[in-house]
């Protein structure tokens, strides 16, 4: 299954990749991004070179070294990475569990008259390629009956951790205007975004969302005098535009990989460079 998210364990990575050159680190990261996005790699080396933009003999040599060391041909005739297969299996199990819980929540909320069917109970995303970690907003259920306060109070939605999300905003986006007051009407807006999708009822989703905002030169105020703030990025129309990549058009890797993959590449490369400087 294609998935723009994959876990990264620095300790395991360092242990397994000691001795790799900078070029080989970059090749391995790109190969993992491709693996988690499209699945096991083909045996055709020329095709792999094109996929990860290995143009020179040195770059292709780095790719070859990584493939020979970390990828093995399986019975399906493709190159597999044992650790990646294990993580994908865990991720699929998690998504299936979230889908099941979402369907149970919809059933409790709507009974047997759920107008949304399975389309919104599936945590895998939709046909437009929206990643499950950053799903599109749900359409309004109107004209269907709205849930009563009793339904909400019975625990269909986990409590929205307002303070923790505001703290994440300050931690990840310190350059943007700080939150000095967070009145009830803003709490209501944030609570609505939290409740719209099951995947959003998790602080890890909000961490990913705020990191995604950070990748936009426009939202960070590096392109014009405008700077986004927490109130702006949680309003429904603005959030939909952000999730659709409307403000990430100028990203240097736009079009080559998904925005989530681009962020992963940059974060991992920065981490590798920092580690190399400390050990050098």
pLDDT of residue 112: 62
Q: How many CB atoms lie under 10 A from the CB of residue 144?
A: 12
Cα distances (angstroms) measured from residue 159 to each of 190, 195, 202: 11, 9, 10
Q: Are 4 and 254 contacting, i.e. CB atoms less than 8 angstroms apart?
A: no
Q: Three-state SS for 130? A: coil
pLDDT of residue 122: 46
pTM: 0.40
Task: Report residue 189 as tokens.
Answer: 């807006």
251 Cβ partners below 8 Å, 6+ apart?
Answer: 215, 216, 259, 262
Residue with tokens 């409740």: 195
Nearest of 238, 250, 223, 279 to residue 25 by alpha carbon: 279
pLDDT of residue 270: 65
Task: Report residue 279 as tokens.
Answer: 């050990």
Q: Three-state SS for 11? A: helix
Give buried/exposed letters for 48-80 (b at 16+ CB in 10 A, else e).
bbebbebeeeebbebbbbbbeebbeeeeeeebb
Which residues does the chain have with pLDDT short of 50?
A: 1, 117-137, 139-155
Is the CA virtual torsion 257, 55, 60, 279 positive or negative? Answer: negative
CA–CA separation, 59 vs 195, rounded Å?
A: 46
Q: Three-state SS for 186? A: helix
Quick check: bond before 112 cis, omega within 30? no
């Amino acid at each position: 299954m294609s998935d723009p998210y994959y876990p990264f364990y620095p300790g395991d990575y360092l242990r397994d990749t000691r001795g790799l050159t900078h070029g080989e680190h970059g090749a391995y990261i790109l190969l993992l991004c491709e693996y988690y996005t499209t699945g096991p790699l083909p045996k055709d080396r020329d095709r792999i070179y094109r996929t990860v933009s290995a143009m020179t003999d040195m770059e292709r040599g780095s790719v070859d070294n990584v493939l020979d060391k970390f990828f093995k041909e399986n019975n399906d005739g493709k190159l597999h990475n044992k650790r990646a297969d294990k993580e994908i299996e865990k991720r699929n199990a998690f998504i299936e569990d979230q889908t099941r819980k979402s369907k149970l929540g919809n059933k409790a909320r709507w009974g047997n008259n759920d107008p949304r069917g399975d389309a919104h109970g599936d945590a895998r995303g939709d046909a437009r390629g929206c990643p499950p970690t950053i799903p599109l907003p749900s359409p309004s259920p109107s004209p269907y009956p709205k849930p009563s306060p009793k339904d909400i109070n019975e625990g269909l939605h986990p409590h929205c951790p307002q303070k923790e999300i505001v703290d994440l905003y300050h931690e990840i986006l310190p350059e943007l205007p700080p939150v000095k007051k967070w009145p009830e009407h803003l709490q209501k807006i944030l609570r609505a975004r939290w409740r719209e999708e099951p995947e959003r009822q998790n602080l890890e989703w909000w961490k990913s969302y705020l990191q995604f905002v950070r990748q936009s030169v426009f939202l960070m105020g590096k392109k014009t005098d405008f700077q986004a703030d927490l109130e702006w990025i949680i309003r429904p129309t603005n959030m939909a535009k952000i999730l659709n990549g409307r403000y990430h058009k100028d990203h240097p890797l736009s079009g080559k990989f998904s925005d989530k993959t681009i962020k992963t590449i940059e974060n991992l490369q920065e981490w590798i460079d920092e580690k190399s400087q400390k050990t050098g």
